[in-house]
């Protein structure tokens, strides 16, 4: 029966039952006050950035952190930003992995890491809602042209991400381009845990 269902799913273009995650990926569940988001970080293509995110997960420094920003680029598009902001919990900054080297892109559901200058990314991350290719490195990229480092994607819970994007924001909080983009109230990341491979069906 399972074989028949898997065959039907294949014929319909869907993943078969028991489909394995992409090679080199690690799944993490972000249990938030708005619902669960399951992500896969790509250790194969972006080992530095993905490894940095997993370091925050494994040391439980993301527990109690927040999604604090929602930036809209269209009616149903933009990005949400969260992560560790307490200076006492931050690890040293990491080297930049541009999308021109990793082959990854800021597509719908992609995880990326914010930065100021090259090599300044630390404990924050963003999730794309809709394609945001202007954040990739190369011609047309904002700022210094090096873009931002994509290191994974959402595999479950994009409905939660979209709810965060349209959640209320403060009209006065935030500085510079972030003014008016700060979530009020914040969305709490209650826990962040690796998901055992046996449960990644």
pLDDT digit string (tens) for 123-166? 999 999 999 999 999 987 877 899 999 999 999 999 999 999 99
Q: What's the angle, vertex CA 39, arms to CA 101 and CA 161, rounded to 5?
A: 105
Residue 122 domain-assigned?
yes
The string of pLDDT tens digits covering residues 54-92 is 999 999 999 999 999 999 999 889 999 999 999 999 999
The string of pLDDT tens digits covering residues 155-201 is 999 999 999 999 999 999 988 888 999 999 999 999 999 998 765 44
Residue 201 domain-assigned?
no
Output b/e per residue, 90-114; b: 16+ Cβ within 10 A: eeebbebbbbeebebbbeebbbbbb
Q: Confirm if 182 and 171 have CB atoms less than 8 A apart.
A: no
Domain count, the chain: 1
Residue 12 domain-assigned?
no
Q: What's the chain's length in residues?
A: 201
14 pLDDT band, cuts 50/70/90, is very low
Q: Confirm if 198 and 14 have CB atoms less than 8 A apart.
A: no
H or E element that contains 184: strand 182-194
Residue 129 domain-assigned?
yes
Q: What's the angle, vertex CA 77, arms to CA 102 and CA 19, rounded to 5?
A: 55
Residue 9 domain-assigned?
no
Residue (of 77, 97, 96, 90) closest to 162 by Cα position: 77
d(C-alpha 172, C-alpha 129), whole Å: 24
H or E element that contains 158: helix 158-165
Residue 114 domain-assigned?
yes
Residue 5 domain-assigned?
no
Residue (of 76, 71, 59, 22) closest to 174 by Cα position: 71
Boundaries of domain holding 125: 19-193
Q: How far is CA 175 from the centre of its chain?
A: 23
Average pLDDT over residues 114-120: 94
Q: Tell me, what CATH number does 39's domain have?
A: 2.40.100.10
């Amino acid at each position: 029966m399972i074989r028949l269902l898997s065959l039907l799913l294949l014929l319909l273009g869907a993943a078969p039952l028991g489909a394995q995650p992409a090679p080199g990926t690690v799944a993490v569940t972000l249990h938030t006050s708005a619902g669960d988001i399951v992500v896969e970080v790509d250790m194969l293509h972006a080992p530095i950035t993905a490894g940095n995110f997993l370091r925050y997960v494994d040391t439980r420094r993301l527990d109690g952190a927040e999604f604090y920003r929602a930036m809209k680029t269209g009616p149903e598009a933009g990005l949400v930003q969260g992560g560790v902001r307490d200076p006492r919990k931050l690890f040293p900054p990491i080297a930049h992995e541009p999308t021109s080297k990793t082959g990854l892109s800021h597509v719908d559901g992609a995880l990326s890491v914010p930065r100021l200058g090259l090599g300044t990314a630390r404990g924050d991350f963003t999730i794309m809602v809709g394609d945001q290719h202007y954040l990739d490195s190369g011609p047309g990229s904002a700022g210094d042209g090096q873009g931002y480092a994509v290191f994974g994607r959402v595999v479950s819970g994009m409905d939660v991400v979209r709810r965060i994007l349209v959640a209320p924001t403060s009209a006065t909080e935030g500085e510079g381009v972030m003014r008016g983009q700060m979530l009020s109230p914040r969305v709490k990341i209650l826990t962040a845990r690796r998901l055992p491979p046996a449960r990644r069906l």
